[in-house]
Amino acid sequence: MVSTESLLAFAVMSLVVIVIPGPSVLFVVGRALAHGRRAALETALGNILGSYALIVAVAWGLGAVVERSAVVFTVVKLAGAVYLVHLGIQAFRHRKEMHAADIDAPAGARRGPLRTVLDGALVGVTNPKGLVFFAAVLPQFVNHAAAHIPVQMMVLGLVPVTIALVTDTLWGLGASAARTWFTRSERRLSLVGGAGGLAMIGLGVTVAATGRAD
């Protein structure tokens, strides 16, 4: 199975890649600014589930197909980009409907928790940064002389998703804490909600513009 050395080396590489904010982090921050702490945490959870779905796909060969095919890669990338822009537009349109009480209101009163988690999962599974990293790097740390290579990949994949869960949560909590200050003014709250929406729209455009090495 996976050696301790490979596990530690992959953990270090994962940490280096994850600490650089990518689509998932920026999406969590955007949701925190637009909808508050609970939405940010639910989004972070969804991102992790989506990312692990990518790892499973890579482990069983599907991720390599997507990463190597320019057409399939572009379709997956654009699907995520369009959805990000859609969510950003919705957040911007409804920015004036937010109130200070929304931050700690029951999730169902704003947006169902399952829907929020699924939003995060969709962004996580269509994240070009995650797709390329898992498809290109993950197989390098597998013991190819041993059996059950897909299982080894899924075990290794627990390392980056655990790190990402911690870092995404911290980003979400930090952004929602900053948002709390704006609740002292309805106008400021509306502005930060709009900023969160614009951030998601900008993120969608950035993801759409992400190129490939080929």
pLDDT at 124: 87
Task: To the nearest 10°, report the CA torsion of 77, 80, 86, 92.
Answer: -100
Mind giving me the DSSP string for 21-65? Answer: --HHHHHHHHHHHHH-HHHHHHHHHHHHHHHHHHHHHHHTTHHHH
Count Cβ atoms below 10 Å from residue 192 Cβ, excluding itself: 22
At 127-139, the pLDDT tens digits run 777 777 787 778 7
Lowest mean pLDDT among 61-65, 127-131, 139-143: 61-65
pLDDT at 76: 67
pLDDT at 150: 85
CB 175 within 8 A of CB 33: yes
**Gap between the Cα atoms of 197 and 167, Å rounded:** 22
Could you tell me how many helices (H) and strands (E) the chain has, helices first? 10, 0
Phi, psi values for residue 213, rounded to 5°: -65, -25
> Letter for the amino acid at 176?
S
- Secondary structure in 3-state letters for 89-134: HHHHHCHHHCCHHHHHCCHHHHCCHHHHHHHHHHHHHCCHHHHHHH
Q: Is 36 left (phi over 0), alpha (psi -120 to 50) or beta?
A: left
At 75-98, the pLDDT tens digits run 767 776 787 787 778 767 766 554
The residue written with tokens 């704003």 in the block is: 110
Confidence of residue 100 (pLDDT cuts 50, 70, 90): very low
